[in-house]
Amino acid sequence: MTHSLLSPTATLLVGSLREATTRGGDDETVAARVSRTLAGHLTDPFLLSAAQREPDPDAYRQHVLHVEPDGSFSVVALIWLPGQETCIHDHVSWCVVGTYVGEEEETTYRVQDDRLVPLRVNKTPEGVASYLVPPGDIHKVCNNSDSLAISIHVYGADIGVLGTSIRRRYDLPVRQR
């Protein structure tokens, strides 16, 4: 399925991402390159339309912006109201996240003895991109601020076909430090 809802400036982003994903390398190399590419576009005020910035009062909202025709990558905007968060999960592919508006907080975990052990908490401000490569990408993302947060996610998978980038949800107890 080909799906694309791009602003004119987002078309430039997709072209840059296409180049970054087709230059070769292992998943770590590609994700790092995509992260640098995305970071260079996060200050563009016209990247998203007003409709693509709309939140949902009940849960974070996902707007699929683009699915590459060959399924090699997808671009998604996530809109977060204060207090909204994901479940603890991992992904089917590498994942690059760039904070476009506000700040996101990500907690990473590892599984040990049928429990989730928190490893670190990262706060990502506007204009900063980071990446995760499976395995070892168990995490939760939330908006712990008092204002709207928007992030742009690039996945090395066809979200149009899969419907989600989540491979597994982790419903294990979390061990406190």
144-153 burial code (b ≥16 CB/10 A, e <16)? ebeeebbbbb
Spatial CB neighbours of 123, under 8 Å, sequence gap ≥ 6 = 103, 104, 105
102: left (phi over 0), alpha (psi -120 to 50) or beta: left
Q: Which among 37, 22, 31, 47 has a CA at the least distance from the CA of 91?
A: 31
Residue 3, annotated as binding a ligand: no
CA–CA separation, 83 and 31 (whole Å): 28
Residue 41, annotated as binding a ligand: no
Residue 63, annotated as binding a ligand: no
Binding residues, by number, are: 89, 91, 139
Binding residues for Fe cation, by number, are: 89, 91, 139
